[in-house]
Amino acid sequence: MRQTKPDLAKKDFRWTPQLIRRLRGKHTLSEFGALLGAHRNTVWRWEAGKSRPDDTCVEHLSELAGRERFLQEWRLVGSMSLLGDLESAEAEIAVLFRRSLGRTVRQLAG
């Protein structure tokens, strides 16, 4: 399956409340709103899922995400499944599996 990085500048990218909260990070609602040209209550409503950003704010969110390298390590696979670095995770799982298998063999032999 072809894997590509998410293009956060596309209008079809959906800014969910969780993604907005993660992008805000340690900024206060007021600080984050000022970065986007939105009121702090508006940012709160986005994060609470009570409203969605308009097109202008979506563009500002995408620009900020690009500057912050937000989700850069994620890959878009299929229809909106975001995954991390699969190669390193696969190697780590293989090591853990071999260790577990070795312990099981020793327990059965002992």
Domain map (residue ranges) of the chain: 17-109
Note the pLDDT of residue 95: 82
- 């994620």: which residue's tokens? 74
pLDDT at 4: 44
pLDDT at 8 over 60: no
Domain 17-109: state its class. Answer: mainly alpha
Q: What does pTM read for this prediction?
A: 0.56
Q: 3-state DSSP helix/strand/coil percent for the chain, to nearest 5?
A: 55, 5, 35
| pLDDT at residue 78, as a whole number | 47
Helix (H/G/I), strand (E/B), else coil: 41: helix
pLDDT of residue 7: 52
- The tens digit of pLDDT for each residue in 43-98 reads 999 999 999 999 999 999 988 888 887 766 555 444 444 456 666 777 777 888 88
